[in-house]
Chains A and B, each alone.
Chain A
Amino acid sequence: MLKYVTKRLAYTLIVLVLVSLTVFIIFNFLPIDPARLTCGKSCFPALIEANRHRLGLDVPWWEQWIRFMHGLVAGRNYAEGSAALHCGAPSFGYSFNQHSCVTTIIGQAFPVTFGLAIGSFFLWIVLGVTLGVVAARFKGRLADRLATAFVLIGTSLPTFISGILILLFVALKFNLLNPIEMGMWHSPFTDPFGYFKEFIFPCITLALAYAASYTRFTRSNVIETSSEDFIRTAKAKGLSNKVILRKHTLRAALSPIITIAGLDFAGLLGGAIITEGIFNLPGLGRLSLKAVLIDYDLPVILATTLLAAAFVVVANLLVDIAYAYIDPRVRVG
């Protein structure tokens, strides 16, 4: 088991390095000069070249990559003398637009996205799995048909519709959310109620969409597992239906969900652009959107892209380890 984990960990590190390289290559070939973007209207050639040097953009891309990787580990200095800037480790670069280390910018946005992701994750897993199991258990009966209707609505309703509907006809209509306060940071530690109010509606919006597909997935997995030979064996042993469902059916039926859930959660950590937009949440999604559409803030785009990829790669690792723990066939093989 330890050997398996070590091996997977090594693979993950290699993949992360490859991902960062790929991202660097892509950015190198973009038809945009990042140095040109540092000074806007006040640009003149000498300034651009000076900024290019200050940002370390005057060296080949692979050297930029090496400096970036070094900065991640050890922090990084930009420019010299009085204009010198230091971004501590892990440094994701420096944003000229916002005059701030990218790590600081991300450090502000990430807790928002993380809160949104974890809240909705919890909601959709509980809702989706419960509905799926109930639907499978009462296959063909009313509960199943209601669950099917939920699946249909949930999967066909995009978040930009369900989000707006929830915002307009629930949150604002019943004065549950103050439009002026929307997007202001409430610390979960000093103002738990404010935090909860801020996050509950976007979490529900996101959870609805995911829960629908999880319901469908759980339902079909439970039904399929119920007809397995080993379930019949469990019944022939004399186990009660309750024990069979809990110990035998669910264990086999739900383990594939771990894979999907892990990857979905990781995907969300990269930012939920639409939902964050609707509820004016300053998370990673909005940060990337703004960096791409308005500021051309390349260091920020680079960092968010890398982070999003890294989340997925790390989630993959965790899912694989969890799977090895659950399924003995993976462990030995």
Chain B
Amino acid sequence: MTTPFLEVKNLNVSFPTEDGEVMASQDISFNVALGETLAIVGESGSGKSVSNLAVMGLHNRARTNISGEAWLNLASGPVDVISAPEETVRRLRGKSMAMIFQDPMSALHPYYSIGDQLSEAWRLYNEGSKSDGIKRAAQMLDLVGIPDAARRVQEYPHQFSGGMRQRVMIAMALINNPSLLIADEPTTALDVTVQSQILQLLRDMQKEFNMAVILITHDLGVVAEVADRVNVMYAGKIVEKAGIDSIYYNSLHPYTMGLLSSIPRVDQLGGHRLKTIPGQPPSLIGLPAGCSFRSRCEFASNVTGNLCATSAPLLEIKAPEHASRCHLSVEQLNEFNPSDVRGTHK
């Protein structure tokens, strides 16, 4: 096993508000190695973006409480981006770690040409004139599959389609050859045929640049398509963490199981009732003691005593390379896993 490029340890992010402290992300630990894709899956409000924005240092430090560590293992030695001074983290952004966002329509500055925006990113870390920057920008646009790149660098964001803008964002993120790319719902705003183009591009770019990629998404189909490992998040915490196949075929958490059986699949006939997870996620202000998922969990009654209500389960290793935050035993979880009814597991 290679040393991971990013090691996040016990990261907590919370936002003080008038109604109380929003515990957006708690006790987050994970690693990503170069060349590997980690997917972080969860519904809105699960905290899947928040912890990664903290790694990038994109939260307003004055209005956010962040604790824990996030180490980038750079060639020059490891740096903890949580405790490092703001200026140090800034100089890693766009160079060692880069990020792309959900809505490519609003993520580019409407007043500057594409070439200007890419060249600005390049010149931040490279010696060169503006025309060198524009040349480099055209190369990058060509690399991400934008036809007629040399001419299109002069154009403005509104002259590009949604898919093309996401390509521009990817080109801009990769222009300084970063080792870590965080993609936050990169295809959610795109049409499905464009989505598969962009996912393909991300895979190609990962090979080309040998990057560690973190893919944040709510779409379990996209995860199945691109991820090597998966973190499932619920109510601010990682509830399950494993390799891609273990998550889909041998899930050890009731929430993951519920999610997988509640989505209709294009390769399976409808007509049956979808399985649902009753209720809705809890508010992140004043989370009750115990397991956050227990009110929606169909297996909570199988736990002896009142453990689910009184004590918060820890994220523990339940099988090789497979951790789950649940009081149930592995045997119980295996028994409850409905994956055999889905008929496609190994």
Q: Which residues of A contact B (CB under 8 A)?
A: 228-230, 232-240, 247-248, 251-252, 255, 326-329, 332
How many A-B Cβ pairs are below 8 Å? 70
Complex Cα distance, B103 from A234, in Å, reads: 15
**Interface bracket on B:** 20 to 34
Complex Cα distance, B91 from A332, in Å, reads: 36
The answer to whether A232 touches B121, judged by C-beta atoms less than 8 angstroms apart, is no
**Chain B residues within an 8 Å CB radius of A328:** 110-111, 113, 156, 158
The answer to whether A235 touches B106, judged by C-beta atoms less than 8 angstroms apart, is no
Complex Cα distance, B108 from A239, in Å, reads: 14
Does B95 interact with chain A (Cβ within 8 Å)? yes
In the assembled complex, the CB of B192 is this many whole angstroms from the nearest CB of chain A, namely 23
Does B92 interact with chain A (Cβ within 8 Å)? yes
**Chain A residues within an 8 Å CB radius of B111:** 251-252, 255, 326-328
Complex Cα distance, B109 from A255, in Å, reads: 13
Known: A237-B94, A332-B156. 6 other contacts (CB 8 A): A229-B103, A236-B93, A237-B121, A238-B90, A251-B111, A332-B158
In the assembled complex, the CB of B176 is this many whole angstroms from the nearest CB of chain A, namely 8
The answer to whether B93 touches A238, judged by C-beta atoms less than 8 angstroms apart, is yes
The answer to whether A238 touches B94, judged by C-beta atoms less than 8 angstroms apart, is yes
**Chain A residues within an 8 Å CB radius of B213:** none
The answer to whether A252 touches B172, judged by C-beta atoms less than 8 angstroms apart, is no
The answer to whether B94 touches A327, judged by C-beta atoms less than 8 angstroms apart, is no
Does B107 interact with chain A (Cβ within 8 Å)? yes
**Chain B residues within an 8 Å CB radius of A255:** 111
Does B101 interact with chain A (Cβ within 8 Å)? yes
The answer to whether B92 touches A232, judged by C-beta atoms less than 8 angstroms apart, is no
Contact of B106 among A230, A238, A239 (CB under 8 A): A230
**Chain B residues within an 8 Å CB radius of A237:** 93-94, 120-121, 124, 172
Closest to A229 in B: B106
**Chain B residues within an 8 Å CB radius of A232:** 58, 101, 107
The answer to whether B110 touches A238, judged by C-beta atoms less than 8 angstroms apart, is no
Does B125 interact with chain A (Cβ within 8 Å)? yes
Closest to A329 in B: B158
Complex Cα distance, B120 from A247, in Å, reads: 11
The answer to whether B90 touches A240, judged by C-beta atoms less than 8 angstroms apart, is yes
**Chain A residues within an 8 Å CB radius of B108:** 230, 233
In the assembled complex, the CB of A67 is this many whole angstroms from the nearest CB of chain B, namely 48
**Chain B residues within an 8 Å CB radius of A230:** 106-110
The answer to whether B107 touches A238, judged by C-beta atoms less than 8 angstroms apart, is no
- Binary A-proximity of B143-177 (CB < 8 A = 1, otherwise 0): 00000000000001011000000000100110000
Instruction: List 8 A-B pairs, minimum CB-CB distance, nearest first.
Output: A238-B94, A238-B93, A229-B106, A328-B156, A237-B94, A230-B109, A229-B107, A236-B99
**A-facing residues in B95-145 (Cβ within 8 Å):** 95, 98-99, 101, 103, 106-111, 113, 120-121, 124-125
The answer to whether B56 touches A236, judged by C-beta atoms less than 8 angstroms apart, is yes
Closest to B95 in A: A238
In the assembled complex, the CB of A250 is this many whole angstroms from the nearest CB of chain B, namely 11
**Chain A residues within an 8 Å CB radius of B56:** 236
